[in-house]
Each structure stands twice: as structure tokens, then as C-alpha cells.
Amino acid sequence: MDLIAIDIGNSTISLGVFTREKLDRTEHVSVIKADSDSIRDMLTAFRELCGPQPLGAETVPIAVSSVNPMGLAIVEKSALEALNQNILLIGRDFPLEMKVAIENPKTVGPDRLLTAYAAYAVIESSVVIADFGTAMTIDCVNDNGIFLGGTILPGLNLSAQSLNEHTSALPHVKIKLPDSVFGINTESAIQSGIYYGALGALREIVERFAMELGHWPQVVATGGNCKLIAQQCDFIDSLVPDLCLDGLYLAYRRYRENLQAEQLP
């Protein structure tokens, strides 16, 4: 099954196309810089990669998750203009079949659930998913595939922005791998504090998850800054920058399989 998957985050729109059951190509664009023209061009190029579809179908499904209404409006408009079709929004047009053990499942961002769904689908045992995006989310799924919830912290770039905007003298720094844990000036001290602070938070939270689970889970990292974090983290087992797109593909495939099963005599 070919599929175009789009994850609309707080600051980034991630687009991917799956052909022959594999993620073939991805694009990432800032929500602030995104417009209908750029998204339309990407969708057109993705559709051309898919080629002819089974049974002569003219369309390729466009599965979308979103936590950003403005970005969602741009994507919906672009899909109509480029491919003359509507998007399929998870939670609205097709479900995510995952058990959750939280107070109000509707308040959880679909990106968190999709990354958890994708990670558990591969590992099939307890797993921690650390997403280093605008927010840093660290979530846990137990051995039975139940989403237990997790933690939400400011992401690396958001931390840097906040220090700059809410102090009178601290500069806005670029997030990078620190040269040393010892910051020898204000800029390097901020970089070291944010970077190693995120590493420390990840280690502490995973350790506390492990205490609750009774064993150490596998750890999967995703999101825009995951590769940077992984350079100094020795307990990340898997690095999957576009894990949410994988979750969209798996969720929509399960939905189609269930529909087909219901139609059988």
C-alpha cells in the first residue's frame, strides 16, 4: 500500500511518502515558512513517486496528524489544489487503535500516541519514546502495549528562546554539541546547560519508568534534535527521526485491513 503521511507539529511539518511498504522520501518545512505552493509541490512530487495504484485507483491516501490548526489548514488546501483530494486526519477520519491508561485520551497529542504505536509495533515489549521536538516528550508503553503516559518538557530550542526572552542579558544561542561541560563564557554555559540538562532529564525519567516497570525498557529517540542528543547518550537503543510518519502508515494500514475484513462474506 502506497501512502503519503504528514505530521504537522508545533513548528515543523514533516512529509513522507511510503512506496512498497517503505518510507521512500521525506521533506521537512517550518510551519512559519510553509505555504500552499511549497506543500503543493511536495505532494505532487510524492504522488509521482507512487506510480500506478492497485485496481486502477487514481488517488494515494494522504494520512495526517496535527497539533497545529494553522498548519493543518495549509495542508488541507494544498492537497485539494495539488491532487484534488481530501486528507485523512487521524482521530477524525480513521482511528488509532492503541490502549491507553490516562485520564483523558483526547487531550494527548496524536504525535505522541503515533510514535508510541510505531515503536511498540516493532519492539513488541516495553519501550520509552523520547521525542526531541519543540517540546521534549518522554513517554512509556508497557509490555502489553498500553500507553502509560509520560512527561513533557521544553525542547532544546524552546529552552534557549525562553532564556533569551525572559532575561535582560542572556543571548539567544544556537543549540549544538557543547565543546565541554564547563561553559567558559555565557553562550557556551547556556549551550552546555541545555544540552546536558536534557540528557540528565532523559536518564532520570527513563530510570524512574524502569522502576515502575520492574525492568529497563528499550529507548527510542525521534524528533528534530534526536541525532544531536544521541551523540552523547549511551542508552538510546534506536534512532528514528521520522517515527511519527511510521506510526501514521501503520495506523492507516490497520484501518484498511479492518475495513477489508468487515467486507468479507
Q: Which of the residues are catalytic? A: 111
SS3 73: helix
Q: How far apart are CA 59 and CA 85, in angstroms?
A: 8
Q: How far apart are CA 217 and CA 129, in angstroms?
A: 10
Q: How far apart are CA 43 and CA 130, in angstroms?
A: 29
Residue found under cell 511549497 = 38
Strands in the chain per DSSP E: 3-8, 12-19, 22-30, 62-66, 88-89, 99-100, 127-132, 135-141, 146-154, 218-222, 238-239
Q: How far apart are CA 119 and CA 220, in angstroms?
A: 7
Q: Is residue 33 classed exposed, middle or buried when 0-12, 13-18 and 19+ CB atoms within 10 A define those classes?
A: exposed
